[in-house]
Structures are given as C-alpha cells and as structure tokens.
Structure 1
Amino acid sequence: MHARRWVWLGTLLLSLVLAACDDKDHDQGLPSSDSGTDAGVDGGLQDGGLTCNVARQEGCGAGESCHFANLPGGGTGSRCFAAECDVVKQDCAGGLRCTYVGDGDTTTRRCVEEGTGVEGAHCTLAPSDAGLEYDTCAAGLFCKDEHPGDGGTVFACRRLCHASTQCSGTEACNTVVRLAGTTELPLLCGARSQPCDPFASACAAPLSCYPSASGPVCAGSGTRGTGASCDFSNQCAPGSACVSTGAGLTCRPLCRPGGTPACSTGTCRPLSGNTGVGACIP
C-alpha cells in the first residue's frame, strides 16, 4: 500500500452545537484518530465552516458535491467541490467507476476502470500505465487500512458514504479518509460507537463517554483541560467536550441542564442531539 498517498484516521468526528444556536447541520457526522472502531468524537467544526450539508447533499451547485474539508486556516468544515464524478452516486458512464485517483501531487475524483475487490476484501493500490494511482476495489468502495489487533496492518475495501443511510444496519457513515493532494475528506462506513451515559463510568478503558451529534458515545479519552483549544471532543479530558461558543472551539465541562452535575462557573447550555446533556459556557 502506498503509505504517502492514502492516510486514514478512523475516529468518529462529530459537530457539537449549542441547542440555542443554529443547529441545522448538527446531524452531520465527520470522522478522526484510530482505536479500531469509530471511537473518537469531534466537536471541531469551525464557526462558519459549514457551507453545505454533507449528509443531505444540499447547498451546492450543479456539478458539485458537498464534502467535509480541511480549512485553509486550520480546523474542519464542509465545502462544495466540483469533480468529474461522485464516489457515492457512481455516475460514471461506460462501466467505469468513480474513485479518488492520485496523479503526482494531486488527488481528484475521476472515472477509471472498476476494480474487483468486494466489500471487506483485501485491496492494494494499482498504478496504471499512465502513472495514475487508484485502488483495486469495486465501484462505491475504497481501500482502507485495518488493524486486526496483532500489531499488523491489512487493507480492505470499505463503502464510501455521505450519510449513515447508505451503510448497512450495523454501521454508520463515520470514518474519514485524509488523502494527500486534496483538502476533501471523504467518508466511509464504519462500526457504530457504543452509546453511553456521560455522567457514569459506562465505557471500558481506555474509552470515555463523550456527546456526539447522535447522542453520547464511547470514544478514546483525551487530556486537554477546561478552556484549552480543541478540534475534537475526545481531545478533551473525560467529563468535558469540544464546543463552539462563538469565540472559537474550547473544552468545556459537561453538565445536566436543571440538574446534577451543575456548573461551578458559567451557564449550563444544552447540546443539540444529546438529551439531558449540556456544557458549561462562560
């Protein structure tokens, strides 16, 4: 596998939005960092960084599709990208498939010959006679690294997606792939995170419970304290989350609106998609 071109991070990446704010995009999940499942949670979508809706594919013009993206100033948002084809719709003609193709220092979505690897099958990169690089998976799939637990790495074909409805019933659209040569962040179907109670010790170590757009889930534990800048909620210490307060993204203690635990300082503001869970906002 060409290590320089394909780099994936398999932690769940989700936007946490204060319920009193505009939360029209709070149902979008975006994945980052590896735990063998989708066991990370992100609150790090920048203020103003969401310009279109990935899950619903809304907000873009003709010939464009909406994808999560690395923003020029850092952080993550969503952007409309024009390309030859759509990796989820698979709208190439003549029996070709749409996939991410490496061409020197750039990566773009292009129509190329379909691979033979079915979902879950072993895969590799296959450089073409023209010097292009793309994987050996069938249409709608992408070659991602897997960590079976023995210290090794294998590569398997996984389904590309914009929303969890495009995944099997046991999976969610929650794994991001970071590719050299593009700011676009495609999504793959991955194992669903275990739901949990953020005010109880409900996750097996080294995981802790963090809020997400679809409710609290177990995620790899972070260490950043209250007020520290963050991109992902599981960069924050257990019992806190990465939230946008209108002045950037910072780790804030979790609280139960109108109940216990309460905030020692600030106001307990509800988090969208997380019933009975809030964050202490100065």
Structure 2
Amino acid sequence: MRARLVVLTGTLALALWAAGCDDDDNGPGPTPQQDAGVPVDPGDGGGNGRDGGPRDGGQASDFACNVARQEGCAAGQSCHFADLPGGGTGSRCFAAGCDVVRQDCGEGQRCTYVLQGSERRRACVPAGTVAEGAPCTLAPTDGGVSYDTCQQGLYCKDEPGSGGGRSFACRRLCHASPECGEAGECNTVLRLEGTTELPLVCGPPSARCDPFGEGCTSPLGCYPSTSGPVCAGIGTRGEGESCEFSNQCAEGSACVNPGSGLTCRALCRPSGTPACATGRCSPLGDNPGVGACVP
C-alpha cells in the first residue's frame, strides 16, 4: 500500500507517496514528494459551495460521482476516487459488501480492505483492537486473508518514523473532512495493491494561504477549496477552459461551476480589489473574502 496526500473534490492537501504497511518486501518503495493535482470545485458561482462531480451539458467527465457527498451512485454502491484505465485519477461507483466509512457490518465486525492472493476487496471481518493513532500491523488468517489490527473505521497507514524510517498507525477512513472531527482533514489517498479504488483517510490540516498575496513556497500557488485556501501545484489552463481540479487552472483562478459546467475563472474579492474585468464577482463558499468572476 502506498499513501499520498492529494487535494481532491471535497477533500484537501498535497501529494506525498510512501510505501505502505501491506506492501511485500519486493513491492515499490517510497517515491519523491510530488503534487498530484487539486480536483476541487469550491463553489458553483452562486456561493453555495457545491462540489464538482460530473460536468454539465452531457460532457464526459473523469469524475462520474461525488466522493465527498456520496452522490451519483446506485443503491449498494459507494463513490471513491479511482485510477483510470488510460491513466490519471477520477471517481467511480464501486459495488461491495460493505462501506468502510459507514461501517455497515454486523455487531463485532468492521468493514475494511482485505487482501487475498492478488485481490484487494472490501469485506466484513472481526473488529481489531488498535485505537486511532496507535501502532498497527497486518494480521494474516489461516484462510489466506490478510487485514490489519485496527479498530472499526480505521486503516493501518504508513508514515515517517521518528528515527527516519517508517512506522504504521491506525488512521480514520473518510469520504469528507467533517467525518474527521479533530483528526484533521479528509485529504490522504491510499493507493492499495490489487484494487483501483483510492480510499481516503484523515490527514494533517493543509497549509493555509492568501489567494491574493504571498504564503506558498514556489512552485506552489494558493487555491480556494472546500476547506478554505490551500497551497497546491500551479496549473496552466486559462479563463473559460474546462477543468476538474482547481489547480489545473493558472494561478489567480480556480475551477468553479457558474451554471454551465466546471471552468477556470479568475479570482476576485466580492468587495474590494481585485475586481472583475468582466462579469460579476460571486463569493465562493468556505472561502471568506474570495470570489470568482462569472458571466
């Protein structure tokens, strides 16, 4: 398993890849820190803070459902970020016997990702005993199924150790930041061998910044998001170009939906400067004092 922090629709943060607790010794090791993109729609141009999801107008989108709101899937399915067949990241509906966030298994059971051979799947297993933030391990069974020792709603994630190596601790599974409570923000994507699902766990709060000033270290720029402005890698898409990620757009703009689909729009202050050269400055929900120029 590898983990990465990534700003995604309804979630926040930057990307950090690392070897995970359920890799075998021959698995891939840590890769350098990298920014994996910021798929965030901080608003719809009307100030109500809706997340992105599929684009309007019938256009095909890599994002087939809304992870943060768990919208767009049929009964018995849940929405997760996913590795796409042609490369890149999107969201897809996945059917499974249980949900790792809702924890809808029977009494004494937990829903988690189990590994059997080369297949990774969600399944109900006996709840573990390790609490959130405490060290954890894998627990192979006589039936050839492996899963970690964490309590219900948690997953064993790798992270930097105090001595420079790697350690493993139970972290809370989530679809959106409100589910994290004091545990941080729902911003860490787990890349698990044997599945294209990219589940999320709670991670440290993202670095805050001012979209109209300094605050992010190069090559990062400041972008609005569903949890307020954060530092992320800078994109190149211009005004009016389609987008799914806010930081696909050039610095000083963001990916919003003014009613005709997700596009890059210049940032502005609803009262003050910078003002819009054309159109009106519509406030972006969860980003006080920040708006986007919409027609």
For normalisation by structure 1, the TM-score amounts to 0.71
Aligned residue in 2 for 1:12: 7
What is the CA–CA distance in structure 2 between the aligned matches of 1:32 and 1:258, rounded to whole Å?
30
Unaligned runs of 5+ residues in structure 2 are 18-32, 42-52, 56-60
Q: 2:15 aligns with which of 25, 33, 50?
A: 33
Asked if the contact 1:210/1:240 (under 8 Å) is kept, the reply is: yes
Query: Judging changes above 3 Å, is the alpha-carbon distance between structure 1 residues 244 and 105 closer, same or farther for their aligned structure 2 residues?
Result: farther
Asked if the contact 1:86/1:109 (under 8 Å) is kept, the reply is: yes
Q: 1:116 aligns with which of 123, 126, 129?
A: 129
Query: Judging changes above 3 Å, is the alpha-carbon distance between structure 1 residues 211 and 122 closer, same or farther for their aligned structure 2 residues?
Result: same
Asked if the contact 2:139/2:149 (under 8 Å) is kept, the reply is: yes
What is the CA–CA distance in structure 2 between the aligned matches of 1:150 and 1:40, rounded to whole Å?
30
Q: 1:71 aligns with which of 81, 84, 87?
A: 84
Identity of aligned residues (%): 60
Asked if the contact 2:120/2:195 (under 8 Å) is kept, the reply is: yes
Asked if the contact 2:185/2:202 (under 8 Å) is kept, the reply is: yes
Deviations 1:90-143 (A, max 9, x none): 222252221001223321101123222110011122332222222221111001
What is the CA–CA distance in structure 2 between the aligned matches of 1:242 and 1:173, rounded to whole Å?
20
Unaligned runs of 5+ residues in structure 1 are 1-5, 15-27
Asked if the contact 1:9/1:31 (under 8 Å) is kept, the reply is: no
Letter paired with 1:79 = R
Asked if the contact 2:254/2:265 (under 8 Å) is kept, the reply is: yes
Aligned pair 1:146/2:159, yes or no? yes
Partner-residue secondary structure (3-state), 2:147: coil
What is the CA–CA distance in structure 2 between the aligned matches of 1:177 and 1:77, rounded to whole Å?
14
Aligned residue in 1 for 2:47: none
Query: Judging changes above 3 Å, is the alpha-carbon distance between structure 1 residues 106 and 271 closer, same or farther for their aligned structure 2 residues?
Result: farther
Aligned residue in 2 for 1:55: 68
Partner-residue secondary structure (3-state), 1:168: helix
Query: Judging changes above 3 Å, is the alpha-carbon distance between structure 1 residues 157 and 80 closer, same or farther for their aligned structure 2 residues?
Result: same
Q: 2:95 aligns with which of 82, 85, 90?
A: 82
Aligned residue in 1 for 2:48: none
What is the CA–CA distance in structure 1 between the aligned matches of 2:3 and 2:223, rounded to whole Å?
22
Aligned residue in 2 for 1:131: 144
Asked if the contact 1:46/1:76 (under 8 Å) is kept, the reply is: no
Asked if the contact 1:268/1:278 (under 8 Å) is kept, the reply is: no
Aligned pair 1:105/2:83, yes or no? no
Asked if the contact 2:82/2:89 (under 8 Å) is kept, the reply is: yes
Letter paired with 1:42 = P
Paired positions, count = 260
Cα deviation, residue 57, structure 1: 2.9
Aligned residue in 2 for 1:179: 192
What is the CA–CA distance in structure 2 between the aligned matches of 1:168 and 1:62, rounded to whole Å?
27
Aligned pair 1:196/2:209, yes or no? yes
Partner-residue secondary structure (3-state), 1:167: helix
For normalisation by structure 2, the TM-score amounts to 0.68
State which drifts further: 81-90 or 227-236: 227-236
